[in-house]
Structure 1
Amino acid sequence: MHDVFADDGPVQLFIHDDGETPRDFVQDLLCTVFGKSRQEAIASTALIEVKGAIPCGPYPSPVARALYNSAKLLIRSKGQPLLITTESADASRPCDLCEAPRAVTEIILSGTTASLCSDCLLAARRSSEELPSSEFRYAFAALEWHFAGIPRNHILTRSRQFPGHMRADVQIAIDRLFTAPIHFFGVHEEYRYETLDFAELMHDDRRAPAIAPPQYHDVDIGEDEPVKCLVNGLWLCRTGDLRYAMLLSFHRDYNHEPTLRIELAVPVGAAGNALVQRTLAELEVAVHSARSYRGKILSLDGGADYRGRARGVTVHRLPTVDRNEVILPERTLRLLDRNVLDFVGSRDRLRELGQSTRKGILLYGPPGTGKTHTIRYLATNLPDHTTLIITAEQVGLLGAYMSLARLLQPTMVVIEDVDLIARSREEMGPCEESLLNKLLNEMDGLKQDSDILFVLTTNRPEELESALAGRPGRVDQAIEVPLPDETGRGKLVQLYGKGLPLEQPVIDEAVRRTDGVSAAFIKELMRRLAQASIVRDGGNDVTAADIGSALNDMLFDGGQLNAKLLGGAQGMSAGR
């Protein structure tokens, strides 16, 4: 018998079905000797039973000899009758296209197996670019055709993961980088709790992921049109003679926000490695430019979105608040301007002089005095700043918020009612203390040149933990937002009653009778005056008697609790 190993040409090994060798042994042989995965070994064993034999290779002669000897040794050691034969690759089965008796490679398309020589394989790869996408039913078939002739163990993958709330920017980056793929597909996820990756896509058994229509979610970024974001997708691409593929999917981890996963598959080698490095670098630069949310007012999703467009980030569309609409004592406004607006405008020069550009502001005062309104004034008047609004119940998401803050600098990070997590440590449970430590660590961990401004609000400054309120570098300036004085009450009456027919004597009476109340109280008083006027004469007139009646309801007839809830002062006269 001719020794095929004596020739220098490639050799193919054939594993035969003898009807006696246990299936488990054949599978183990394929895994241990031929390096197949368990799933591939199961599929190949089934194919042996159907076809009577399957080819392995072709391999260079020395490699084929080593594999053959290893297989025979294992077969003899286990006392099995399994038959393995060898054949020169030149004498292998003919190519299905050119019928030349040359080494062939099997590829699959739409359930049909084709054995092609290397020349026809290259031609088939080129012609596959002209195939309509509808020809492919399963992801593994599309990948087999795309990487035809490249063994699976000669394909490597590398991946990056991005926060799920950045999916709009990731989508924009992908749309810019992958403009002309050979083929693009959506992929059906049968098991949503598993991460879809190339290893999964290459399954060619009953679990094989199917090609599916691309699925998109509309994600609101605060513009006229939402961003159309892909749920998952497979791109088959080529640059020159190098073929590669990209997969977009989600990595899901219980009790954590899903992360967006980008995986690239390329042939082993310097060219493939360079392409991966370049593509991932371009993708990261595109994502870190992060233009979708920059300069807007944001919070992470929490609660229902009845438009159905929230996917991680909510964009707040707040009307611009002018300075004359912030009813505070002039000294308070000047302090606010110096420590926020003027500070931000001086950042570049401060940095040049070696000074820190991060800052912490504490707004404190009784409920209803306008702290939230003041924040809206700052958020809508800070040039090019992104504002992140964190409510007390969302402090557990502080890590994600700070990642956004660093990415979208310059930013203003607002934590409302900070006293709910920053009380005296003696009054805290372990969970609250953990949140406080996280907040302090984030404030301490910022670089000196960070363009991040913390604005904290509290109704109870006396209860704040001394570690937060008493250490420079965390809070640099406390600003009181007091109850409105006489001048302020007059401005509030006119601001909230600007649609009412208010005569000056009525305005003066309202100012006189509301000493010691909050801005929120005056806003509610104006609404009740409007209601009384509508009931009496359709809203054409407001009288001093309307003021007395409204104050009776708000301060006295409703009891002390009602007065406290509305922001009324103790000991106010009803003027009966």
Structure 2
Amino acid sequence: MEYLGWLLVGLLMGGGISYIATRCIKAASDDRSTVAALLRSHFHPIKMDSITISEREFPFRVRADLQRAIDRLFGDDTEVLHFCGVRKEYSHEGVSLADCVIESEHYPPVSIPPEFEEIDIGDENPVRVLKVGLWLLEKNQSRFVVLLTPTGQYGQITGMKFQVGTPNSPEGTKIVQSFFKHLEDAILKAESYRGKTLSLEQSEHSYTGQSTGITVHKLRLVERENVILPESTLKLLERNVIQFVQQRERLSKFKQSTKKGILFYGPPGTGKTHTIHYLSRALEDHTTLLISAEQVGLLSEYMTLARLLQPSMVVLEDVDLIARDRANMNSPCDEILLNKLLNEMDGLKQDADILFILTTNRPESLEAALASRPGRIDQAIEFPLPDDSGRNKLIRLYSEGISLSGEVVADVVRRTEGVSAAFIKELMRRSVQFHIERNGSGEINSEDVSNALDEMLVSGGSLNRKLLGGSGIE
């Protein structure tokens, strides 16, 4: 009997708790903080079943441009009556406007303070973008709502979804069309990223705490006089890149293609990447997209950006890692990546203002379908080891800030035959370091250079000499 008594007490208490919880949920659903109550009040006297919902999804990486578009749109002839964040418990797939409209007693969507995150777009200040937001709006005495939420699959956010709720009327249709047209125009302008140097972000987190999706690179400034190459190489570079871009409009009038593929090849450290830095500055109105070999799986997305942000320059460094001869490939995955690259280069329209720059240290290993067919690679430009004149200029370039006599420069030129430009740069740095260690007066002497050369070529052994690009020295 005592057991039954305690059981009865437990049932009564459980029922009481359940009743209280139900009443609390119902009270919450009647509260103005629930989104359903806000929408009901906003559209009154129009019933909620007379509202139509339209939606569009945009790529996650263009959030900065979407935010800028919203900031401009809601500040013109559209009045913001209420703005808030939205949250729904136990909603792993996100919240939709349909969820917000439905009267629910179990975990209804509620209004919360809006949440923002900062995106670095390469400007002085980052852009604050909204994560989830609901706007209650009025335009020309017609009320409507806009909901912004992330969307994706398998737990990965891939885009941003806009849903617009309007009365089912011609005026409501006009509001929807105008709103989405405004967003589309903002995406096409791409103000946040156009003309910058970009790569797609793959890591989940940034050490700065800022979320991007697109990384904006601040490349070092390389002027024309800092590009130390043989005269024949410079002429090829100027004609096939700078002059080609300048003549694009006239080429187009004569029905000629305005896209081009160029291969930079030569030993490591001869200035291929250095020259790309120069070109990214010289082609001021171009957007530069930097693709590393491990990112080639994102090639389709890179090309979508290249078309959107054209005129653009797509740089794929160490292309031999994914475009080597098919006979030397180890798996079907390698061939798939190669085919993707070939298809993307072939799939460009003739009037696409896109410049491909591919680099390699091993041109002999490239797949013939890439290297031996105009329309993919239209010009190969060799970056050789610097000659005497080139080494002289490099020594003076990389000794900026410290003095060298003509005799020392001539001595370094004589003793560095067969080295790369990168070797000269490191040699000058080490010479300055030895100069500092002996408390020098600001002028490098032959002893400083000899100490540096000994450390680079002798002390470290043949491997160190090879690693530093000095294997050509006798």
Distance 2:374 2:259 in 1: 12
Tell me if structure 2 keeps the 8 A contact 1:490–1:511.
yes
1:498 corresponds to:
400
Residue 198 (structure 2) aligned to one of 288, 294, 298: 298
Distance 1:383 1:522 in 2: 29
CA offset at residue 274 of structure 1?
2.4
Distance 1:253 1:205 in 2: 27
2:246 matches 1:350: no
Q: In structure 1, what residue type is equivalent to 2:265? A: Y
Q: Secondary structure at the match of 2:261?
A: strand
1:272-421 counterparts in 2 under 5 A? 272-303=172-203, 305-421=206-322
Residue 198 (structure 1) aligned to one of 86, 97, 102: 97
Q: Secondary structure at the match of 2:146?
A: strand
1:434 corresponds to:
336
Q: In structure 1, what residue type is equivalent to 2:447? A: A
Distance 1:149 1:174 in 2: 27
1:106-255 counterparts in 2 under 5 A? 112=30, 136-179=32-75, 180-191=79-90, 193-203=92-102, 204-254=104-154
CA offset at residue 282 of structure 1?
1.9
Structure with more relative contact order (C-alpha pairs < 8 Å, separation 6 or more): 2
Tell me if structure 2 keeps the 8 A contact 1:301–1:310.
no
CA offset at residue 256 of structure 1?
5.4
Distance 1:215 1:422 in 2: 44
Q: In structure 1, what residue type is equivalent to 2:464? A: N
The 1:109–1:409 alpha-carbon spacing in structure 2 relative to 1, beyond 3 Å, is farther
1:268 corresponds to:
168
Q: How high is the TM-score relative to the length of structure 1?
A: 0.74
Residue 388 (structure 2) aligned to one of 483, 486, 510: 486
Q: In structure 1, what residue type is equivalent to 2:52? A: L
Tell me if structure 1 keeps the 8 A contact 2:29–2:108.
no
Residue 524 (structure 1) aligned to one of 413, 420, 426: 426
Structure whose CA Rg is larger: 1
Q: In structure 2, what residue type is equivalent to 1:239? A: K
2:420 matches 1:552: no
Deviations 1:285-311 (A, max 9, x none): 122111111111111114463322341
CA offset at residue 189 of structure 1?
5.0
Deviations 1:106-133 (A, max 9, x none): xx99754xxxxxxxxxxxxxxxxxxxxx
Tell me if structure 1 keeps the 8 A contact 2:150–2:157.
no
Distance 1:445 1:195 in 2: 36
The 1:190–1:331 alpha-carbon spacing in structure 2 relative to 1, beyond 3 Å, is farther
Distance 1:151 1:435 in 2: 54
The 1:233–1:560 alpha-carbon spacing in structure 2 relative to 1, beyond 3 Å, is same
Q: In structure 2, what residue type is equivalent to 1:155? A: I
Q: Secondary structure at the match of 1:232?
A: strand
Distance 1:191 1:333 in 2: 62
Structure 2, unmatched stretches of 5+, are 1-18
RMSD: 2.0
2:466 matches 1:564: yes
Q: In structure 1, what residue type is equivalent to 2:223? A: D
Distance 1:426 1:255 in 2: 39
Distance 1:515 1:310 in 2: 47
Q: Secondary structure at the match of 1:231?
A: strand
Distance 2:199 2:221 in 1: 18
The 1:192–1:228 alpha-carbon spacing in structure 2 relative to 1, beyond 3 Å, is farther
Q: In structure 2, what residue type is equivalent to 1:164? A: F
The 1:402–1:192 alpha-carbon spacing in structure 2 relative to 1, beyond 3 Å, is farther
Tell me if structure 1 keeps the 8 A contact 2:297–2:337.
yes
CA offset at residue 191 of structure 1?
4.7
CA offset at residue 427 of structure 1?
2.0
Tell me if structure 1 keeps the 8 A contact 2:88–2:108.
no
Q: How high is the TM-score relative to the length of structure 2?
A: 0.90
2:439 corresponds to:
537
Q: Secondary structure at the match of 2:404?
A: coil
Tell me if structure 1 keeps the 8 A contact 2:196–2:286.
yes
The 1:143–1:255 alpha-carbon spacing in structure 2 relative to 1, beyond 3 Å, is closer
Q: Secondary structure at the match of 1:183?
A: strand
Distance 2:267 2:361 in 1: 5
Q: Structure 1 stretches (4+) deviating beyond 4 angstroms?
A: 108-112
The 1:335–1:552 alpha-carbon spacing in structure 2 relative to 1, beyond 3 Å, is same
Deviations 1:229-286 (A, max 9, x none): 1111101112234221111110022375520111111122332222212221122112
Distance 2:90 2:418 in 1: 61
Tell me if structure 2 keeps the 8 A contact 1:411–1:451.
yes
CA offset at residue 137 of structure 1?
1.1
Q: How many residues align?
A: 446
Distance 1:557 1:501 in 2: 26
Tell me if structure 1 keeps the 8 A contact 2:268–2:420.
yes
The 1:508–1:189 alpha-carbon spacing in structure 2 relative to 1, beyond 3 Å, is farther
Distance 1:438 1:257 in 2: 24
Q: Secondary structure at the match of 1:181?
A: strand
Q: In structure 1, what residue type is equivalent to 2:61? A: H
CA offset at residue 378 of structure 1?
0.2
1:28-43 counterparts in 2 under 5 A? none
Distance 1:256 1:147 in 2: 34
| Bigger mean CA offset, 151-160 vs 279-288 | 151-160
The 1:263–1:210 alpha-carbon spacing in structure 2 relative to 1, beyond 3 Å, is same
Distance 1:462 1:165 in 2: 37
| Bigger mean CA offset, 386-395 vs 545-554 | 545-554
Tell me if structure 2 keeps the 8 A contact 1:319–1:380.
no
Tell me if structure 2 keeps the 8 A contact 1:423–1:465.
yes
Identity of aligned residues (%): 52
Structure 1, unmatched stretches of 5+, are 1-45, 51-107, 113-134
Tell me if structure 2 keeps the 8 A contact 1:360–1:454.
yes
Distance 1:503 1:457 in 2: 36
| Bigger mean CA offset, 215-224 vs 188-197 | 188-197
CA offset at residue 539 of structure 1?
5.4
Distance 1:539 1:255 in 2: 62
The 1:317–1:562 alpha-carbon spacing in structure 2 relative to 1, beyond 3 Å, is same
The 1:190–1:378 alpha-carbon spacing in structure 2 relative to 1, beyond 3 Å, is farther
Distance 2:90 2:365 in 1: 49
Q: In structure 1, what residue type is equivalent to 2:39? A: L
